[in-house]
Structure formats: C-alpha cells, structure tokens
Structure 1
Amino acid sequence: MIQEKENSLHSPVEPVTFWRAFLFWLKLGFISFGGPAGQIAVMHQELVEQKRWISEKRFLHALNYCMLLPGPEAQQLATYIGWLMHRTVGGIVAGVLFVLPSLFILIGLSWIYIKFGDVPVIAGLFYGIKPAVVAIVFHATYRIGSKSLKNKFLWLIAALAFLAIFILNLPFPLIVLAAGLTGYFTSKKYPELFSSNAGHKNSQKDYGIALIDDDTPTPDHAKFRWSHLTKILIIAALLWFIPVLGLGLYFGWDHAYTQMAWFFTKAALLTFGGAYAVLPYVYQGAVNYYGWLSPTQMIDGLALGESTPGPLIMVVAFVGFLGGFNHALLGSEHLFLAGAIGATIVTWFTFLFSFVFILAGAPVIESTHNELKFTAPLTAITAAVVGVILNLALFFSYHVLWPHGFGHAFNYEAVLIAIAAFIALFHFEVKVMYVILAAAICGLFLYIGI
C-alpha cells in the first residue's frame, strides 16, 4: 500500500485542459473563505498537495511576488497560476472567477441588508463563521510558516516582522522593504540560508512530481517580451480611461459614480499590505469624506466581506452598493439598479490593476525563479509575511472573542466554535469549506437561541 502511494506520487501528472482548470477556478470562487491567508491555504492544499498542478517552490515564488503588490494577493496568485498554465486568457479567467461569485453574492446580501435590516438568519450565520475564520487564519499561518521558515534566520525575520507590526505598528510596505533588503544583502555572504534544498521534491512532506515542477522550463508565453508588455499596458490604459471618460461625460466629474471610479483607482494603486491596510483608507474616504454610507453600515459591510467567499477587499462592493442606494443616484424608482451599478464600478476599478500587475510583471518574475539575487529577497519577504499574518490572526481573535472590547464580556460560544474549528483543521485536516459550513450552522442555532 505504501509502495503504491509512493509510485502514484512520483507518476507524472496528466496535462490540465483549459476547461478543467476553468471548473476549478469557478469552484474556488465559491469556496475561497477565510481572507487572504485562508484562501492561499486552500489554493496550496488544492493545487500543490492534491492536484499537483504546480510545485511548492514555484507556488511560493509566485506568492512572494504577489505579496509585494498593492491589491488582493490571493486573487493575484490565482491570476498568476492561471496565466502560467493557460496563457493570458487563463489568468483572466482565474482572476475574474475568484471575484465574480463574491460580487453577485454581495450585491444580493447588500440588497437584503438595506431592504430588511438585521436579518436573524444572516446574523446567525456570521456569528458562527467569524470564530471559524480565526482558526482558519491561525491554520494558514502554521501551514505557510512550516513551508517557508526553513532555518533559524528566516524564523528571526518572521519574529521581527511580527513585533514590528504588533508592537511598533510599522506600516506593512516598510516591513516588506526591510525584509527584501535583508534577504538581498544577507544572501551575498550567506547564500545557504536561502538555498532551495527544501523545495517541492525535497521538502519534509513529499507531494510528488508536479505538472509545473521546480525544474519545468518556463513556457514560451511566460517569457518576457517588450512587445507583450507594451500591448498589456496599452489595453489596461484603455480599460481604465474609457470608463472614467464615459462616466465623466455622462454624469459629470463631481457625480458619485465618477468619484467612486477615481477614489478606488487610488485605493488600488496606493495601498499595500492587503485588505486590512486598505480598509482604513476606504473608511476615511467613503464614510468621512464622501458620506456614501454610515460608520455602522461600514462595520456591517466588513462582516459581510469576512463571511462571503472571495477577497476580503470585496467589501468595496458593499460600499459602492450603499453609495448608489443611499443617494438614489438613478432616482427613487431605480434604487437596486443604482446600488448594483455602484458595486460594479468600484469592483472594476479596484481589481483592474491586479490583472495588469500580473500579466505585465509575471514574465519578469518567472525568469528569476532559479536566481538567488531575486529569490533571496522574496524568500525573506515570505518569512516576514508569516509574522504579519500571525498579527492578523490575533487581530481577528480580539474582535471575535471580545466583540465589545477587553472591558466587556468574553464570548464563550465563539471560543468553543473556534476550538472546534482548530481541531477540525489541525488534527483531522478537514477542508476549509466544510469547516465554514459547519461553523455557520452552529452559529445559526446559537444565535436564534439567544
């Protein structure tokens, strides 16, 4: 039996057709709960461990690049792998399907929220999902850390990154820059600290030969070409400029739809560090400056974003929907349409540049996966990100277990759900989607009984 399993691990993986990959990306769009850490853990489990479509080394190399970019790293990682497997169309399909189910779900939930107020069923589902998300993020921290922290030096980087953000509250871009520079300069004197001898085939846990393995040559479409870069940048410029021009000409520059396009363009380009780095900026602009929604509505929107599949930054769709609805931008007889258009506009301008960063930059990154001067900074950044994700896990824990602050009641029911989710993930290795489902059902029963 063991020999048979060993043979299957080292047997070649059959080529993956575009439509088979399409079905996987579609499924991922509906099961990608748990924020970026949970989503990356799901992709690692599916693509590296089970399907063996890509090796761990290549997966982490792509992840390191996505961590450097503004925007949702999990969605960008899906776009990267889809592009690597099936060219530009594969990347676009993977990235769009990562977002599209979440957009439709949030438009529907936003309408229910604004139309019917506090719906006990939805509130109950959220009540169970939130503590499960705590366990999912801790589990993701463990999984990514166990793969990427290969020596004491990388552990030290992770620890310092955690202290930098948890105690000193240093901005995420500064932590990334410091980790990258540390990796670059340290590798010149101690290259063995960043060697790939713990790669996919030599890792502690052998997942077998992958379709895109450590030594698989870069496919022709993934090689850098100036002509391709120019074409991508021109198309991206048109996809940004034409909608902005159209909104400005039809509604006027000061109209909320046009201002949404401009505001979320800045959010997409100027904010690094994932959703939790973007949210304070969005809150300040959408609530305090533009008044598209109230502070309470923004907090409720964050709960919706945490509890639906897709990137956490999809909370912007809720912001856009309420901005269109609250201000009756198409008149009082078209409130739902006004909200749906607002949600679509902010989603378009938030995610457009994520595709540009991957389709334009990934060919450069793919050419560097065996060059230490490029891989060492990225390896150090991954180590730092482990510390940052741990901080995120503690952030979640605080807000879920003490929902009204340390001075108020401790939520014992939430901690029981979190412990059960911990056991399911760590001991029984239950898939994230099943943990989320079970936690949602438990939360519903507990909430209704309150």
Structure 2
Amino acid sequence: MTEVSRPAQGGRARGEVFWVFLRIGALSFGGPAATMGLVHSKVVLGLKWIDKRDFLDLTGMVSVLPGPNAVEMAMHIGRRRAGRAGFVLGGVAFILPGALLAAILGALYARYGTTPAAAWLLYGIKPVVVAVTAWTVVRLAQSAKPRRPARAVLMVVVAVAYVLGVDELLLLAAAGVLALAARLRHTALPKKPGALMLPLAAPTGQSDLVSLAGVFLKAGALLFGGGAVLLALLRGELVVDRGWITETELLDAIAVGQVTPGPVLNTATFLGYTLGGPLGALVVTVVVVLPSFALMAAAGPLLRVIRSRDWTRAALDGITLGSIGVLAGVTVEFARTGITDLLTVGLAAAAALTLWRRPQSALVLVAAGAALGLLRLLAHHLM
C-alpha cells in the first residue's frame, strides 16, 4: 500500500489543495478519464495525499454519482488534505480554468458567432492523454488484484463491451451486481438499509435568469454518463421545450465543453454567457455543480458505511473493477481519434516511455502536448 503523507495544517494545506487542482484543472483536456490519470499521477504517486486503495474506492463511488466525476474527486481529496476549506477549494480550483476559458469563448461567440480554432490544441494533447490514461489503467489494474482470474476477466469484458457501445452506467451496475452475487454465495445478505433519498425541485419563477438556473440545476442533478447525456438533457430543455437556442448553437456549446480543460460542464458556462451574459455564466456555473457539492459533502461518511459492510464492500469492488474496464475502453476511443499520423504515434510512445521512467510527470507531459498544439496552430497561420 502507498505510504500516505500526513495532512498539512492551516493556510499551507489550503494553498496546496488550491494550487494542485488549479494546475490539474488547467490541463484536464479529454474529460474525466484523462483527469483520473492526472490525479493518480500527481496526488497518489507524487504527493501521496491518498493511497491506491482509497483512490480505487473513490473512482468506483464517483462513477455512480450524478455530476462531473472529476470535480467530485477533487472535492473529496481536497477535504482529506485540508478539511472543509479543502473540500470547497479543490472543487472550485478544478472548475476555474475551464469555466473562465468557456466564458471567454462564450463572449467571442456572442459577438462574432464563432469561436477560435481551439481544436488545434488537441492535436498535441490527445496522444499524451492516450498514454496517460493507458498508464493509469495499468497501474489501477495492478492495484485491483488482477491475479484473481474472475477480477481480470470482469475488467476485460467491461472494456470490450464499452468499445462495442454498451452504456457505461449499465456496465458499472452489472459489475456491481455480479461482484455482490459472488459475495452472497459465501455469506448471508444483511438486513437492507433504508434507501437514501435526495429530494430535488428545480426553482421556478418569472425571471429568465431564474429559469436558466433551474434548467442547469436539473441538468447537474441528473447528469449520469458524461457529455452524451448532457447533450440529450440540454437539447430537450433548451432546444425542444423552450426554443432558447438552435441545434447548431447547442452543438457549438458541446464542442466548447470538449476543447476546454476540466469538466464537460464548461458547456454550461458557455451557454450561460450566450443566454444571460456574464451574470448568466456565473449563475449557471454555480448551480450546475451544486448537486455534486451536496452529494460529496456526505461522501466521506458514506464511504465509511460502504466499507463497514461486506455486501456493500463487494458491490463497490465490482463497480471499481468496472470503472477500470470503462477507463480501458475510453483509452481505446481516445487512441482512435487522437493518434492520426506518425507524429502523434511518436508523441504517444514518447509519453508512455516517460511515464514508465517518471510516473509523476503526467502534468508536464500534457502541458508539453498543449504547447506543441499551439506551435502547430501558429505554423498553420504563418503558412
């Protein structure tokens, strides 16, 4: 088990949490899978704020909660390091870089009807993300006792099913049920605890800003499964039901969420600006992550409860194994879109070799990939 450093105290601890997750948030291109690799490299292997077992449990837990998984991970780790202040600072710091960039792109879009060619950045970043996520899959799989044949088979089957198009949440649920069923073959099922309910009602009112806040509060509370689910939720609310934006404008907003660092919910900040100006961007950014903050406030006690019961421990283990399989499937998808020529093949190979020698270098590698993308953009404009 990884040796864990003792939490720091006071302002030093809060500053560490804010700065670490600000840097991770600024370089988290590629969604939650890429972020998981960056967090694992920096926080588990480098700073040793949590151990591998805690990271695996956290991965499984946030995978089945609504909202942006990467933000929830930052909040939980921030609380472990610096208490309540770290909980808030970890989440805010991770969100901040992408939200600011999305707001800027929203302002440009509102003024000019288009956004800069930010996708050029991804040319250099995607191959590095492939290497980082692949390396993370290997390290997590090693920590998940893969020598037990059933566990290794479960991870592989989930990975293959994900690549074939099976829904991510369905795969995680199936993995949890299978692990629980295996556990129940050897022990009696304890008395079922009461269900945990989270009442939620979207705010209502005459103000467009209040209505906008209500739409994105609902989206944040119901967001399971990432960008595709967000697209469906926002299309139903903003395009079909209310007619506030067109299909093309929604697709442009989703594209902004993909090319900006941090969570895909940067889409919300972009739409908040285009629909309500700077205040709309601020309000939407806050309300869309409120459900995640509320859920993660109870995550520490919940994780302790899960660990204290054999059957919930077994279900979480299954979900964790499923999460590793999904991450492997995501890596394959990244490779399909990110490795497109000999240069990107070389980038991915160089990043993998660097990670093998220096596992803590993921943040530096992603920054280098972004710099290469900017150089390619500059060369394109000079030609």
| TM-score over 0.5 (shorter chain) | yes
Partner of 1:26: 18
Tell me the residue number matched to 1:49. Answer: 45
Q: Distance in 2 between matches of 1:312 and 1:373?
A: 33
Matches within 5 A, 1:189-338: 189=185, 244-245=203-204, 248-249=205-206, 251=207, 255=208, 257-283=209-235, 285-286=237-238, 290=242, 292-293=244-245, 298-322=250-274, 324=275, 338=276
SS at match of 1:105: helix
Question: Which residue identity does 2:182 align to in structure 1?
Answer: T
Residue 15 to residue 71, structure 1, CA distance change in 2 (3 Å): closer
Contact 1:88–1:359 (8 Å) recurs in 2 = no
Matches within 5 A, 1:15-414: 15-27=7-19, 28-32=21-25, 33-34=28-29, 35-115=31-111, 117=114, 119=116, 122-150=118-146, 151-167=148-164, 169-189=165-185, 244-245=203-204, 248-249=205-206, 251=207, 255=208, 257-283=209-235, 285-286=237-238, 290=242, 292-293=244-245, 298-322=250-274, 324=275, 338-401=276-339, 411-414=341-344
Amino acid at match of 1:263: V
**Secondary structure of the equivalent of 1:369?**
helix
Question: CA contact under 8 A between 1:268 and 1:353: conserved in structure 2?
Answer: yes
Q: Following the alignment from structure 1 to structure 2, what is the Cα–Cα distance between the partners of residues 160 and 175?
A: 9
CA distance in 2, matches of 1:293, 1:24: 40
Shift of 1:298: 4.6
- Output the CA distance in 2 between the equivalents of 1:415 and 1:291: 44
Q: CA RMSD in A?
A: 3.2
In structure 2, the residue matched to 1:431 is 361
> Distance in 2 between the 1:81 and 1:446 partners?
36
Q: State how far apart, in whole Å, the 2-side matches of 1:130 and 1:38 are.
A: 9
Q: CA deviation at 1:99?
A: 1.4
Matched residue type, 1:21: A
* CA 1:286–1:438: 2 relative to 1, 3 Å: farther
Question: Would the aligned equivalents of 2:163 and 2:333 in 1 still touch at CA under 8 Å?
Answer: no
4+ residue runs over 6 A deviation = none
Change beyond 3 A, Cα 1:129–1:175: same
**Aligned match of 1:422:** 352
Structure 1 residue runs of 5 or longer lacking an equivalent are: 1-8, 192-228, 325-337, 402-409
Structure 2 residue runs of 5 or longer lacking an equivalent are 188-195
Aligned length: 365
Question: If the length of structure 1 is used for normalisation, what is the TM-score?
Answer: 0.71
Alpha-carbon distance in structure 2 between the residues aligned to 1:445 and 1:425? 23
User: Contact 2:103–2:270 (CA<8 Å) still a contact in 1?
Assistant: yes
Distance 1:126 1:172, change over 3 A: closer
TM-score (norm 2): 0.82
Matched-pair contact (CA < 8 Å) for 1:18–1:90: no
Distance 1:182-1:134 versus aligned 2 partners, 3 A rule = same
- For 2:355 and 2:314, the matched residues in 1 are separated by 31
For 2:306 and 2:36, locate their aligned partners in 1 and report how far apart those are by CA, in whole Å.
Answer: 22
Relative distance call for 1:155 and 1:67 in structure 2 (3 A) is: same
